[in-house]
C-alpha cells in the first residue's frame, strides 16, 4: 500500500522513499542508477514508429531485437521476443543522462542490502565476481524489477 506518491513498499515491509536526492531504503541512500522501462513488444518497427510520434529518438540497440529510445531524460527499451512482461530497469554506474558514473554503488552491495531488507531475488549474481552483473526480483504486484550493471565493480582491476 502506498503511503504517498513518493513512497513504495517492496518486500516484507521494506519502504522505499523518493526524496530530492533519489530513493532511500530504511533511511539509507539507495543509488540504483539510471531508470528506464523495458517494454516487451510484439512488433519492434511498429513500436519504434509509435514512440517516435511521442518524441522519442533511437539512441541504441541492435535494430532487430531491441531498441533503446530517449525523450529528454526519459528512457525506454523496446524488446521483441526477449521477455514476456514489461520490466522496471535500473542501471548502476549510468546516470539518467546516459553518461557513465565512475563512483557508484556496486550491484553486489545493492543486492546484499535488498536481500537483508527481505527482498527475494528471482535472478541472482555470483557475489565473488567483479564484472558486470544483474539481479531481478518482483514487486508486491508481480512487476519484474531488474538491476542491470553494465560496468565492472568500482575499483576492480576490470574497471
Q: What does each of the 159 residues of the chain score in pLDDT, given as a tens digit?
A: 344 444 444 443 445 555 445 555 555 668 999 999 999 999 999 999 999 999 999 999 999 999 999 999 999 999 999 999 999 999 999 999 989 998 999 999 999 999 999 999 999 999 999 999 999 999 999 999 999 999 999 988 775
Residues 6+ apart with CB under 8 A from 51: 69, 71, 76, 78
**CATH code of the domain occupying 7-149:** 3.10.180.10
State the pLDDT at residue 26. 53
DSSP SS3 for 1:
coil
Residue 86's nearest CA partner among 34, 145, 35, 43 is 145
pLDDT number for residue 28: 61
State the cell numbers at 12.
516484507
Cell of 96: 539518467
Q: Which residue, among 40, 22, 42, 41, has the nearest Cα to 32 in the 3D structure?
A: 22
Q: What is the reported pTM?
A: 0.80
The pLDDT of residue 3: 47
Amino acid at each position: 500500500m502506498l503511503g504517498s506518491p513518493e513512497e513504495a513498499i517492496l518486500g516484507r515491509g521494506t519502504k522505499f522513499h523518493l526524496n530530492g536526492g533519489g530513493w532511500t531504503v530504511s533511511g539509507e541512500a539507495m543509488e540504483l542508477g539510471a531508470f528506464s522501462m523495458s517494454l516487451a513488444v510484439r512488433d519492434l518497427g511498429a513500436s519504434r514508429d509509435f514512440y517516435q510520434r511521442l518524441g522519442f529518438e533511437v539512441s541504441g540497440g541492435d535494430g532487430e531485437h531491441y531498441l533503446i529510445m530517449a525523450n529528454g531524460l526519459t528512457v525506454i527499451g523496446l524488446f521483441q521476443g526477449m521477455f514476456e512482461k514489461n520490466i522496471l530497469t535500473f542501471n548502476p554506474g549510468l546516470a539518467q543522462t546516459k553518461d557513465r558514473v565512475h563512483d557508484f554503488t556496486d550491484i553486489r552491495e545493492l543486492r546484499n542490502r535488498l536481500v537483508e531488507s527481505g527482498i527475494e531475488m528471482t535472478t541472482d549474481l555470483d557475489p565473488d565476481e567483479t564484472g558486470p552483473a544483474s539481479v531481478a526480483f518482483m514487486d508486491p504486484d508481480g512487476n519484474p524489477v531488474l538491476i542491470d550493471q553494465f560496468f565492472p565493480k568500482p575499483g576492480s582491476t576490470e574497471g
